[in-house]
Amino acid sequence: MSDDIPDTEDFEARWPKEGDRLFMESEWAYDAHVVADPGERFYRMPKGYKRAGDILIDQAANDVVDRPNVIYAALFCYRQSIELFLKRLIEEFGQGKEWRPKNTHELSILWERFMWIINERERSGSIGLSESQRLVHEMDRADKKSDGFRFPTNFDGAPFVFGDRGIDLANLREVMQGLQNFFECAYLDFSHQDDMLSDYLVSLI
């Protein structure tokens, strides 16, 4: 970002012009940096999509004109954050288990894999577990295949079932924050378990 970025009003009159490129570098200190490392992406992406959802929800709450437009992007960002929080936990703490299917967008399947880790680590009594499960399944029912908030219809042209309803934006934002807190605490808990085991094994040498 630089000081000479035009105001929003100037952008409204902007048209594509010769020499335009989407991805250009300017100054390192001002550029947004996109990394290739999967580990760093797994760290940043869930947080990023959650934060983007928050920003869009705030915009929808404050601007009645934007509200019916940006709500879809906000919901997609929130759903994507849930998917990536789960996938990160599964990737790092799944003990290399082979899953079938290997890749999926279905939150219900990802939750089952997360629960396998929970049970393997004897964490079935974790605070917020049942509540988080209910919320993940609620999002899964709203958007089963991560397409319901991205496209007007499903792959065969039929309307999505989740629609023609209102959403309390303040409640949505608050509940999503709780879900993020649960996932991040689960990550810290699993990491602590592994550190304790590592220290114990070292002490036996």
Tell me the per-residue pLDDT of 10-54, one tens digit each, with 9 for 90 and over.
778 889 999 999 999 999 999 999 999 999 999 999 999 999 999
Cis peptide before 6 (omega within 30 of 0): no
The pTM of this model reads 0.91
pLDDT of residue 185: 97
Find the DSSP H helices in 30-149: 38-62, 67-93, 107-120, 129-142
Give me the residues of the chain with pLDDT under 70, please. Answer: 1-9
Alpha-carbon span 78 to 181, nearest angstrom: 14
pLDDT of residue 7: 62
Query: CB-based contacts of 162: which residues, under 8 Å, 6+ apart?
Result: 141, 142, 143, 148
3-state secondary structure of 183: helix
pLDDT of residue 158: 94
pLDDT of residue 197: 83
pLDDT of residue 38: 94
- Residue whose C-alpha is closest to residue 81's, from 61, 116, 55: 55
